[in-house]
Each structure stands twice: as structure tokens, then as C-alpha cells.
Amino acid sequence: MMACISLDLDDQWSYMKVHGDAGWESFPSYLDVVIPIVLDVLDELDIKITFFIVGQDAAIEKNQNVLRTIVERGHEVGNHSFHHESWLQSYSKEKIEEEIINAEEAIFQATGQRPKSFRGPGFSWSNDLLMVLKKRKYIFDASLLPTYISPLMRQYYFWKSTLSKEEKESRKELFGSFKEGFYPLKPFLWQFNNNQELLEIPVTTMPILKLPFHQSYLLYISNISVGLMKLYLNFAISMCKITGTQPSFLLHPLDLIGADHVPELSFFPGMNIKSEQKLKVFKTAMQILKKNFELVNMSQFADSLSPYKKLQPQRNSA
């Protein structure tokens, strides 16, 4: 069985923006610190992954050299929207199209590779988004997080933020609703009215229970006990194997670096954990995954799939 690994390259400014911190408008970035650390540890583990890049970062000239090293070191790039706004599902079709195209162009300019896959910021998606991806010949969408705890994730986020009432109102769909949990965990095809189809590769949550087990969750658990984290991951893997689910495993930069590297983000959960410890936990988790699955990037994973279950897109954009 295979497992695919991807990293959403959320930058420092996007965390500051959602948290409501001043100064994000000048796009402060940690990419020149984070990317070399991530690439080195991936080399050490001998795995190639998919990096979902934010268009705004790729459009800034000083980020381009370090972004290019991702492709030079053998990894692939995907589109993570231009502005990284987690309430993308409230966008008009025109605005969504603009987001996708602008990000795609900027990422191509920066890395020399044209993204053919998309993941919405904060797991946001809409029917219009899927249609735009199809029209632009994307191979798959990877925005779905099938879990019942989306409303909880949103409450936690708001509780930790300094956002105004109005800002919270505009973000009321952040992370989606309870019904996200009813979507399948295994890759499937979205079927549109015009008979066209688009592959969806959801971020895998624990089969049946639909509890997330991507690296950020493993890291929180490891802060209680590394033994417990291993137990949780091994249990998730057993559930995947029993149900024949090949996992899509998700990473974020803050899974690998702590406040010792980015003091500006010390408000974020888990930032008290030192970078060195985060790297250790990450390597432990990857070695457990590697023992159980062949680890590949998302395109290679997509190539290996079929046959698919087919589903009609059901969620309407506002």
C-alpha cells in the first residue's frame, strides 16, 4: 500500500493574518528558514513529497530562489491559492478563477513547474472551485478534510484569535461544517452535470472515527507523551489497513519549527515545543509510516489510483 505526503507551505504572514495581528500586510516570511530545514530532513528520510505553495509568496521576488530549491531537490509543487483566505467558499466564480490562475502563474514563474493540483486554504472548497480546476485541466483537488470536528476546530481558532465580531462573521465557514465528516476518506471522482469528472484526494482522517491524525495532531499528542503519539498513529494506520485506505498525510511548516525560529508566531498552539524536538517527533512519525507504506508524492499516488467511487458535488458556493 502507498501513502502520499504533502506539505501546505503556509507562511508567517498568513498565520498573522488569521490571528488578526498587525504587520501581515508586508508579508513577513520564514520561507528562507523553513524550506532548507524541511528539504534536509526529507533528504535524510529519503522521501519526495508535494509542496502546496501560496501564490502571494511565489509572487515576491526575494522568495523565489528558495522556492526554486523545492523543485531542484526533486519535489513537486501544487497550488494553495493566491491569498490563502480560508473562506474561499464564499468567493464568486470569477474571483475563484482569478485566485487559481494568479497563483498558478506565480508558482510557475518562481519554480519553473506548473502546478496541476490544488488544496484550498483551511480545507475550503466549493463547486465553483472544482469546476475551475477541471476547466484548467488540474489532475486532482486535495482540499477535503472529512472530519466531524470542523466546528470545534473553528471555535478553537476564534477563541485563540484577536478577530473582531465582523471578521469572525466573514469567517463563519472556516473549516466547513459537521457534514464534511460524511465525505469518503478514499480518493473519489467528483461528477459534474456536464459529465466531466475531477479526482479528489481527501486528507486522510482516522477511518470510521474521522479524527484527524496529520502531523500537527501527532505533535500535540507527543507533547503529552511520545509513546501515546506512537500508539495513536499506529492505531490510525491499523484502521487504514483494515479498511483498505491508503493515507494522504499532511504536514505544515510549524510541525517542524518552533518559536525558537519564529518568535512572532509564539501565539500558535505547539510553538513552545523546540524545533529540535519537533524534528525528532516528525522523523519518528515518518519512520512509522515508512514501515507500513510506500511513501510517494501526490501525483505518483494519483497515477496509481482507480477504479473510483463517483460522487456529485453537493456543497453550493454562497
In the complex with Zn ion, the residue whose CB is nearer, 12 or 245, is 12
Judged by CB under 5 A, the chain residues 185 through 224 that form the site for Zn ion are none
End-to-end Cα, the chain, rounded Å: 38
Q: What is the DSSP secondary structure assignment for residue 77, as one 8-state letter?
A: E
- Listed ranges 2-10, 96-104, 200-208, 277-285: which one lies at the site for Zn ion (CB under 5 A): 2-10
In the complex with Zn ion, the residue whose CB is nearer, 163 or 311, is 163
In angstroms, the CA 174 to CA 149 distance is 12
Judged by CB under 5 A, the chain residues 110 through 169 that form the site for Zn ion are 121
Residues in the chain: 318
In the complex with Zn ion, the residue whose CB is nearer, 8 or 200, is 8
What is the CB neighbour count within 10 angstroms for residue 64?
16
Beta strand ranges found along 218-272 (DSSP E)? 248-251
In the complex with Zn ion, the residue whose CB is nearer, 253 or 258, is 253
- Listed ranges 3-11, 16-24, 240-248, 294-302: which one lies at the site for Zn ion (CB under 5 A): 3-11
The answer to whether residue 11 forms part of the interface with Zn ion (CB under 5 A) is: no
In the complex with Zn ion, the residue whose CB is nearer, 10 or 255, is 10
In angstroms, the CA 274 to CA 222 distance is 13
CB of 227 to Zn ion, least distance (A): 30
CB of 11 to Zn ion, least distance (A): 9
In the complex with Zn ion, the residue whose CB is nearer, 203 or 237, is 203
CB of 140 to Zn ion, least distance (A): 17
Which one of residues 3, 6, 10, 141 is an interface residue with Zn ion (CB under 5 A)? 10
Q: Which three cell numbers stand for residue 149?
A: 470536528
CB of 90 to Zn ion, least distance (A): 17
Closest CA to 248 of 185, 197, 191, 309: 185
Strands 140-141 and 117-118: what pairing? parallel
In angstroms, the CA 308 to CA 302 distance is 11
Whether residue 202 is preceded by a cis peptide bond, meaning omega within 30 degrees of 0, is: no
In the complex with Zn ion, the residue whose CB is nearer, 106 or 240, is 106
CB of 6 to Zn ion, least distance (A): 11
CB of 8 to Zn ion, least distance (A): 4
CB of 291 to Zn ion, least distance (A): 28
- Three-state DSSP class for 126? coil
Burial of 93 (0-12, 13-18, 19+ CB in 10 A): middle
Closest CA to 121 of 132, 129, 110, 113: 129
In angstroms, the CA 4 to CA 49 distance is 7
H helix or E strand, kind and range, residue 8: strand 2-8
Residue count at the site for Zn ion (CB under 5 A)? 3
CB of 91 to Zn ion, least distance (A): 16
In the complex with Zn ion, the residue whose CB is nearer, 10 or 180, is 10
In angstroms, the CA 178 to CA 176 distance is 7
Which one of residues 5, 7, 8, 88 is an interface residue with Zn ion (CB under 5 A)? 8
> What residues make contact with Zn ion under the rule CB under 5 A?
8, 10, 121
